[in-house]
Chains A and B, each alone.
Chain A
Amino acid sequence: MSPDVLSTPVVETAKTSDRAQTRAQAARRRKAIVYTVRVLLLVAVLGLWEVLSRAGAIDPFNFSMPSKIWDQIWTWMTHGTALGSLGEQIWYTLYEALLGWVIGVAAGVVFGIALGRIAFLADVLGPYIKVLNSIPRIVLAPIFVIWFGLGASSKVASAVVLVFFPVFFNAFQGAREVDRNLVANARILGASDRRVTLQVVIPSATSWIFTSLHVSFGFALIGAIVGEYIGATKGIGLLVAQSQGTFNAAGVYAAMVILAVVALAAEGLLTFAERRIFRWKPSDSDS
């Protein structure tokens, strides 16, 4: 029953299907070319790196080379790291980042919506939040290690402070920019202030909040890694620190590759959740 179907001219079916086929072919060909060039580019960069490093044009001790990095990852996967199995390190870092992310997001959303809805709170707390936001929060990580020790809680804390602000500002903005008509309409229909907040402000702020969730998961990982780097007993950040301490450049790169994979996987999960939640939104896949 979609309008597109109805508007297709019936008479020229043969001709249009012919054309459609050519067009689909061209599109497929273009896609194939894009993928091929993409892979070639990666191979070229890695190959160049490998060759230059082997030839001694760049110092292999400082810059390592792809084959060594892969060997390092492989060793970690098969024989475990000096700290225990690789899976355990990944899981530990992920656990800290996730916990910090959840707490930071929850606090950011609650504070953001509250300040966005209650002008009095916003007026009172506004300057303080600006001051806190202007502190480079990464310098808090050493303090958290002093406060909370080498365990997970100090990393969770640094993840929380990194995640909180972007989420807070987005939720705040989202709550401020709610369509006034929708609020007026809800009030006319009989909604109390609480209902307006829960059923109008929060749903319309979700797209703002989700924008910040993507960025902020990256921040949570940064918080956890930096925390581990400064002082920990487990985790990928510690792996980086140890590799650095033993002048093992390949180890540092290997940890980076692992982190990138973890971050991408998390991003994929988030996009999937977003698609489910925003079914009500007009999107490209809808038409």
Chain B
Amino acid sequence: MSADTSPAIELRGASKIFKTPSGGLHTAVRDLDLTVGRGEFVAVVGPTGCGKSTTLTLVSGLEEPTEGDVLVAGQPVAGVGDKVGFVFQQDATFPWRTVLSNVMAGPRFRGVPKAEAKEKARAWLARVGLAAFEDRYPHQLSGGQRKRVALAATFVNDPEILLMDEPFSALDVQTRALMSDELLELWEGTGASVVFVTHDLEESIALADKVVVMTAGPATVKQVFDIDLPRPRKVESVRLEPRFIEIYREIWESLGEEVRITRERGAAHVA
């Protein structure tokens, strides 16, 4: 298979086993098969703590799989590649850098000359609506604004693969909807392939072309659903459409069971 026709991301029988501090072994991901096509927006949903985030760290190259293969553009992942962008759940902006300097960080790390990096960073800051804030420090911004900085800092590197680990989960509901719309707008221009991890089923349907339901931990793929809602979408309005609700019911039947299993385990732990 040539590199041009191979899917953007491919996981084949990938497993990840961590050593716990107490010396035991914890299987976060087990025998996972997942394919993400080029330019495809895939949302991964599953119960909390099932190992969704681990899947992303495997694709990013931050962690190696214990077993199985992880391929990006047909090539096995070895270390952090330059095609990948990652938006983290927690704040990962550098607090000692100004907004502009934060967005410049990626290009500067990759050896882009300062003037060019500044120009690119300014362009992306303008696209996320923070042009007037370039001299501020992160602590002077709101949570939503910091997330915008993180998005600009990620997109400025022109990633072919965009990994997002519950990026909006710390935001309030209105800000979250707004950010989701902005994400779709930003993404539509780039042709990047996206893996968006969330535990919010509504969010995943509103955003994605394909929703992957994970089992209760250790994570593996349970079922994959194609979302046939037309684009461009507006997150707030699309969730009121009858087709959206239909899809929601269908997926929830599958996801709800895993959530129940996780809950029962939690209860057993407490008891």
Interface set of A (CB-CB < 8 Å, partner B): 179, 181-182, 184-192, 195, 199-200, 203-204, 279-282, 286
Contacts and interface: CB of A to CB of B under 8 A. Distances in A.
Given A181-B92, A191-B105, A203-B96, 5 more contacts: A185-B86, A186-B109, A189-B110, A190-B157, A204-B96
Given A181-B88, A181-B90, A187 B95 contact: no
Contacts of A184: 62, 86, 88, 92
Q: Provide the main secondary structure of the chain B interface.
A: loop
A124 B90 CA distance: 34
B220 interface: no
Given A190-B106, A281-B139, A185 B96 contact: no
Cβ-closest 7 pairs across A and B: A185-B92, A190-B109, A189-B106, A282-B139, A190-B110, A191-B109, A188-B86
A182 B109 contact: no
Interface string B136-154: 0111100000000000010
A280 B139 contact: yes
Contacts of A189: 105-106, 109-110, 153, 157
A281 to B, nearest CB: 7
A63 to B, nearest CB: 51
Interface stretch (B77-85, B121-129, B179-187, B254-262): B77-85
Nearest to B91: A181
B97 interface: yes
Given A188-B80, A280-B139, A282-B139, A200 B62 contact: no
Interface residues of B, number: 26
Nearest to B82: A190
Contacts of B106: 189-190
B137 A182 contact: no
A203 B94 contact: yes
B60 interface: yes
A192 B95 CA distance: 20
A181 B109 CA distance: 17
A187 B86 CA distance: 10
B110 A188 contact: no
Q: Provide the main secondary structure of the chain A interface.
A: helix
A249 B106 CA distance: 64
A186 B106 CA distance: 8
B141 to A, nearest CB: 11
A191 to B, nearest CB: 4
A108 to B, nearest CB: 21
A194 to B, nearest CB: 11
A280 B96 contact: yes
Contacts of B88: 181, 184-185
Contact of A182 (B60, B94, B110, B140): B94
A186 B84 CA distance: 12
Contacts of B95: 280-281
A83 B85 CA distance: 68
Contacts of A281: 95, 139
B97 A280 contact: yes
B105 A188 contact: no
Contact of B80 (A181, A187, A280): A187
Contact of B85 (A187, A188, A203, A282): A188
B37 to A, nearest CB: 22
Contacts of A186: 94, 105, 109
A253 B82 CA distance: 65
Contacts of B90: 181
Contacts of A185: 86, 88, 92
Contacts of B96: 203-204, 280
25 contacts: A179-B92, A181-B88, A181-B90, A182-B92, A182-B94, A186-B94, A186-B109, A187-B80, A188-B62, A188-B86, A189-B105, A189-B106, A189-B109, A189-B110, A189-B153, A191-B105, A199-B105, A200-B94, A204-B96, A280-B96, A280-B97, A280-B137, A281-B95, A281-B139, A286-B139
Q: Which of B91, B92, B140 has the most CB of A within 10 A?
A: B92
Contacts of B92: 179, 181-182, 184-185
Contacts of A200: 94
A182 B90 CA distance: 10
A199 B91 CA distance: 17
Q: Which of A182, A184, A185, A186 has the most CB of B within 10 A?
A: A185
A184 B61 CA distance: 10
Contacts of B85: 188
